[in-house]
Amino acid sequence: MSSNQLSTSSASEPATDKRKWANPSILAGLVVIIALLPLLLSSPYILHISILIFVYIIASVSLRTITISGQFPLAHGAFMGIGAYLAGMASRWLGWQPWLTIPLAAIATAGIGMLIGFPFSRLRALYYAMGSLFFGIGVIYIIYAGGTWTGGYAGLIGIGGMFGGSRVAYYYFFLGLALVSVIALYRFEFSRIGINLKAIAQSHLVASSVGINEGWYRILAVGVGCFFVGLAGASYAHYNTVLSTSSFNFMATLWLVMYVLIGGIDSFAGPIVGTIILILISEFSRDLKVFSPYLSAGILLIVVYLMPQGLVSLPQLIKSRLFERRKEKKISHVPGN
């Protein structure tokens, strides 16, 4: 039931809404600051965290692409793992170069996603979430069963790196990849394709009665979402050069879901904001060790309780509070009132 509510509310923003904060000059300024960051702070730790943020922004925004069609998959971490392991295995065992493995792994992930999406497109809401959850768990066991090929329980090692291991080069690579992916997914969501997906989420009966092919569009959304999460996973494999299932298990999927939920499910910027803030929080709370996830869980509860539209709604929430107060004052000044 809750999954049903989540999926329908994802379409509640007007399809062609241009939000005020998305002011091009502010965005351009942000991009410049981010682009200059390695020159100002060359700490490898900060670069590493930034790279992780870029990787997970691609993953969480691509999860959103699926959720706007009213589907709430619980296997997105597993699809990231499919991309990562495919690229990693091609590099480790076939010696293929990253420029070949990354796009091929992304395409293969999209293909697997669409194949799985085909039977799943008949499921809705909770059943869809459950089905995808089991698929995600199954992927992990397949990796375990892969023995030497996948590295099994021990993990896959010896994946080829890029840029001679230069963190700064990796930083720019992932920055570029995240920018291109986010722009590509933005255009996808705010075109007629995205409108059709949001229409299906709101009423699949009405959508198909006006000629929208529900099954095909749902599979398309899964394909596009899986392509980009596969891209993120494959690039991550060539950055980390070591893979283990713990990065792609059910917890990893849950983190992606949290990024989307806490950031704001109704807004394109939601997953981006959610990813940045949650990764920063979990990094800064490293000292809490096992208690660190509780902090994120606490934040999830607070956000859901106070700002159902997620962290992105915070500025507007504050603004509307202030504005309302001002308005009340004005009314009290009306003569003869």
Partner 1 sequence: MFLEIKGLTKQFGGLTAVNQFDMYVNKGEIVGLIGPNGAGKTTLFNLITGVLRPTRGKVIFDGEDITGRKPHTVAARGIGRTFQLNPLFANFTVLQNVSASFHLHPRSSLLDIYFNTKTYRRNEAYILEQSLEVLKLVGLDRVKDELAKNLPHGYQKMLGIARALAVKPKLLLLDEPIAGMNPDEIDFTMIGVRKTQQQGTTIVVVEHNMQIMDLCDRVVVINFGHKIAEGLPKEVRENKEVARAYFGGEHAA
Name the site residues for partner 1 (rule: CB under 8 A).
11-16, 187-188, 191-193, 195-196, 198-199, 202-203, 205-215, 220
CB of 17 to partner 1, least distance (A): 10
Q: Shortest approach of partner 1 to residue 58 CB, angstroms?
A: 18
Are 265 and 67 a contacting pair, CB within 8 Å? yes
Structural Rg of the chain based on CA atoms: 21
| Residue 190 CB neighbours (<10 A) | 15
Q: Can you state the angle between helices 250-263 and 125-145, rounded to 10 degrees?
A: 140
The candidate with the shortest Cα–Cα distance to 79, out of 212, 227, 208, 220, is 227
Q: Least Å distance between CB 138 and partner 1?
A: 29
Please name the residue ranges forming H helices in 190-269. 192-202, 204-209, 214-240, 250-263
Q: Which residue from 60, 89, 33 is spatially nearest to 311, judged by alpha carbons?
A: 60
CB-wise, 151 or 223, nearer to partner 1? 223
As measured in angstroms, the least distance from the Cβ of 203 to partner 1 is: 4
Nearer to partner 1, 89 or 224 (CB): 224
Least distance (Å) between residue 194 CB and partner 1: 9
- Rank residues 201 and 269 by Cβ distance to partner 1 and give the closer one: 201
Which tokens sit at 57?
């922004």
Distance CA 9, CA 198 (A): 10
Report in angstroms how near the CB of residue 102 gets to partner 1 at its nearest: 21
Q: Which letter does DSSP use for residue 243 in this model?
A: B
Give me the amino acid identity at 275. T
Query: 276: which 2 tokens?
Result: 């940045």
Q: Which lies closer to partner 1 via its Cβ, residue 195 or residue 299?
A: 195
* Closer residue to partner 1, CB minimum distance, 160 or 215: 215
User: Which of 2, 64, 65, 15 is CA-nearest to residue 207?
Assistant: 15
Identify which of residues 23 and 213 has a Cβ nearer to partner 1 in the complex: 213
* Cβ(207)–Cβ(13) below 8 Å: no
The two structure tokens encoding residue 15: 């399809």
Helix 214-240, helix 76-94: angle, nearest 10:
50
Nearest to partner 1 of 99, 216 (CB atom): 216
Q: Which is nearer to partner 1, 163 or 190 (CB)?
A: 190
| CA gap 268, 65 in Å, rounded | 9
Q: State the nearest-atom distance from the C-beta of 33 to partner 1, in Å.
A: 29
Whole-number minimum distance, CB 107 to partner 1, in Å? 17
